[in-house]
Amino acid sequence: MSLGIDPNSYANYHEVVVTNLEPNLTVDFNRKLLYGYTDITAITKHSNVAYLDLDIRGLAVESVQNLDEKVTSHSYLNFTIPRNHSIGAQLRVPLPTDKQNEGDKVHIRVNYSTSELSGGIQWFEPNQTAGKKHPFMYTQFQAILARTMIPCQDTPAVKQPYTMSVTVADPLVAACSGAEHCKPVKDESKGTIKYVFHQPVPIPSYLIALAVGALKRESIGPRSFVWCEQEQLEAAKDEFSQTECFLKAAEDICGMEYKWGTYDLLVLPGAFPYGGMENPNLTFISASLITGNKELTDVIAHEITHSWSGNLVTNSSWPDFWLNEGFTMYIERLILMKVAEQNEKGTGMKVRDFQACLGYGELTSAVRSLQSTPELTKLAPDMRGIDPDDAFSRIPYEKGCLLLLYLEHLVGGVQPMIDWLRKYFVEFQRQSITNKQMIHHFEQHFPNVKVDWNTWLYEEGMGPWNPMSYLDQTMNKQTQALVDKWTVDGANDIDANASDIKWDPAQTMVFLDNLANGGKKLGHDVIKKLDEVYEFSKSKNVEISVRFLRLALENEYVDVLPVVEDFVSKHGRSVYLKPLYGELILLSDKKLVDKQKVKDIYQKNRSYYHSVIRNAFDAKLAH
């Protein structure tokens, strides 16, 4: 079932399109809700348009006003909610009779409050924060959760600027995916502070973001600041000190200056369901990325890249999500290549190619984990009636990047691709585009290059090209040699020590991926010795520890259960929890782990997890 032109939205943006949003909300931590109103400006695209259809979910709508009239009983519009679906409801607002012709501008105000069903908002008690003194809240709207806080046309096909006014209890601080519009205003009598933010660049609704807590802000570069609780500030400043370096590399590769003013980072609790979220001006970053040695700062390169691919040029619907993430993965690796080459001449391409090998391993793991839902291994899956969060995986990231790597192979290397990408960003900036538009642009630029687009976009599985013969294998061969050592010999005969993995942390990730993807069952003695020698389960690098834990569970080594239990209590990222809980469920089905024990672990941490995690596992693991 398709809700509308966008399969995941009721919005009738083909008839009347929202051009500006102005939420004015108060944050109530006691009741865990926001209340107030959102002013909406829309323009009709045709004549005889009778309604403006908006997306809502979990909102208690009190009234809708026509702001083009003086406030009287006649200025209130008789809204209805004619359709409801598990992923949202249709808020239908009748347009005034004098506002139904092409080009008419409509101004309305929706008065409402959020509710416990507003899954895009996550609340933390003081004891769940680093400082333990003040509560914390943040929003995460990708893919279709903006509708849980703001009535909007919740589709990436619609972009609009916005201005947000947020009132919070003093001394809490609000931060938003826009620049501070004016100085905060204190109301001593009410004990509140009002913040106003403005985002002048049109963005899709999923990029609207808000966080409120005991936040501090300090500089980490000429145009970047880090926001976090005081207790995390020094560690975060050091961890993300390379931000400006990544920004400059991205500008050079994309051939276009950074358009958003400041590039700030906000560190969220480990429960954040993603590694990072590319909210304009204010990238959200998981505290799990702070390792103390910058091992996972490639995520910053990824989120910076979204300032061009995703935020400036956006997929028009979620089946085209790879246009955001595949392009971003490809360019992220070019950034890492450029930075590595600057640090040590001759290493850039080796680093890029090894990162691509890592990605191919992640693609292999993702395809394997989606065997029961092979439709979701397509680059452009059918998303009708499906919550995009339920379909979330590494497929659009790594299969999308693989396609771009294949195009690079066809057109003659990195530089021709960069030349095309620069023109692509100029052509489509501030737009939302489809696969068809991207393909047409590529074919106009490379008229003699033939690509089987249908196979790449619509066939299940890994994709029709293996990149290994194209990529530099220097670093990969080192990891494969260690894989061979551990899979050829018996555990007792393996000559191994900690110095084996004194290399790039990404090589350790590939080593573990290759052990998992090699098709050979590993004995419990091998898993045990791996951890004894390399101490993977104690690693501060979550990308390493989660790979080891998944490898152990896949090989039915249940002795790691206490470590898994500790891990899932600290890290809420979707790509960590879904495979770990999935493996625990499989082991409980085999009677190797007590099913009630798995449920108890989940229930203990459920309130810590974002709604995208709860929605994935409540049916299987909630009491």
Catalytic residue (choose from 37, 263, 397, 581): 397
> Using CA atoms, how far apart are residues 260 and 292, in angstroms rounded to an integer?
29
> Using CA atoms, how far apart are residues 268 and 275, in angstroms rounded to an integer?
10
Task: Say which CATH topology domain 1-206 has.
Answer: Immunoglobulin-like (2.60.40)
Q: Is 602 designated active site?
A: no
Q: pLDDT tens, 475-503?
A: 989 999 999 999 886 666 788 999 999 99
pLDDT band (50, 70, 90) for residue 616: confident
According to the annotation, is 302 in a ligand binding site? Answer: yes
Would you state the pLDDT for residue 491? 64
Q: Which helix (H) or strand (E) holds 232?
A: none
According to the annotation, is 325 in a ligand binding site? Answer: yes
H helices then E strands: how many in the chain?
17, 23
Q: Are 244 and 221 in contact (CB under 8 A)?
A: yes
> Using CA atoms, how far apart are residues 602 and 587, in angstroms rounded to an integer?
15
Q: Is 37 designated active site?
A: no
Catalytic residue (choose from 303, 332, 554, 583): 303
Amino acid residing at 599: K
Q: Are 228 and 216 in contact (CB under 8 A)?
A: yes
According to the annotation, is 459 in a ligand binding site? Answer: no
Res. 74: pLDDT tops 80: no
pTM: 0.92
Q: Are 153 and 18 in contact (CB under 8 A)?
A: yes
- Mean pLDDT, to the nearest integer, of 6-12? 93
> Using CA atoms, how far apart are residues 258 and 306, in angstroms rounded to an integer?
11
Largest CA distance in the chain: 86
Among residues 553, 544, 604, which one has the least CA distance to residue 578?
Answer: 553
> Using CA atoms, how far apart are residues 457 and 170, in angstroms rounded to an integer?
51
Q: pLDDT tens, 161-195?
A: 999 999 999 999 999 999 998 899 999 999 999 99
Q: Are 155 and 7 in contact (CB under 8 A)?
A: no
Q: pLDDT tens, 284-317?
A: 999 999 999 899 989 999 999 999 999 999 999 9
Among residues 361, 322, 310, 314, which one has the least CA distance to residue 458?
Answer: 322
> Using CA atoms, how far apart are residues 562 and 444, in angstroms rounded to an integer?
56
> Using CA atoms, how far apart are residues 406 and 446, in angstroms rounded to an integer?
14
Average pLDDT, the chain: 94
Across 4-13, 328-337, 475-484, 488-497, the highest mean pLDDT is recorded for 328-337
Task: Say which CATH topology domain 214-299 has.
Answer: Zincin-like (3.30.2010)
pLDDT band (50, 70, 90) for residue 73: low
Q: Where are the chain's structural domains?
A: 1-206, 214-299, 313-458, 475-621
Q: pLDDT tens, 422-432?
A: 999 999 999 99
One CATH from 3.30.2290.10, 3.40.50.150, 2.70.98.10, 1.25.40.320 for 475-621:
1.25.40.320
CATH number corresponding to 313-458: 1.10.390.10
